[in-house]
């Protein structure tokens, strides 16, 4: 008799609500499954590494207090307290809500070398990070609005 035990990978993810690291199951879906829950623009950006045009994203000018979550799996990614006006046309943050919640990979597309930022739980493409941000980190997490969902702080 076959053993049907699943060995789903667990990822440590910080929750802004509890203020703690929680182990969560890695989210894996087919393109067809993602297309059922994301708009075409969200799918292009988050799942196919697209980019929205500068100054077109709905969250670029958002100044409300809250948490920016992954559009694909809803984990917490950025706190509005880390958001700043970069002038680039994309929502920019000087740090993620927790290093565990994002991962960085080298991106050599478009004849450039950049650092891509992805959701740690579902591998959604969020944007890129650059080293021209403000103190205290000197980093600029340049994110796509289409990859984020904003939730006002309660």
Active site residues: 142
Residue 85 tokens, joined: 């006006």
Furthest CA-CA distance within the chain:
61
Count of C-beta atoms within a 10 Å radius of residue 56: 13
Cross-strand partners of 13: 22
The secondary structure element, H or E, covering residue 131 is none
CA–CA separation, 135 and 73 (whole Å): 30
CA–CA separation, 96 and 37 (whole Å): 25
What is the DSSP-derived secondary structure letter of residue 74?
-
């Amino acid at each position: 008799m076959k053993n049907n035990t699943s060995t789903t990978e667990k990822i440590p993810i910080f929750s802004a609500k509890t203020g703690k690291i929680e182990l969560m199951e890695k989210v894996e879906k087919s393109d067809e499954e993602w297309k059922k829950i994301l708009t075409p623009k969200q799918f292009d950006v988050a799942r196919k590494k697209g980019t929205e045009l500068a100054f077109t994203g709905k969250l670029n000018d958002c100044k409300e207090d809250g948490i920016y979550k992954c559009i694909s799996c809803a984990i917490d990614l950025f706190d509005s307290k880390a958001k700043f006006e970069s002038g680039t046309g994309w929502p920019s943050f000087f740090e993620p809500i927790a290093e565990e919640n994002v991962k960085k990979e080298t991106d050599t597309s478009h004849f450039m070398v950049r650092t891509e930022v992805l959701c740690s739980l579902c591998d959604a493409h969020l944007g890129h990070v650059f080293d021209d941000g403000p103190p205290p980190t000197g980093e600029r997490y340049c994110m796509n609005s289409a990859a984020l969902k904003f939730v006002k702080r309660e």
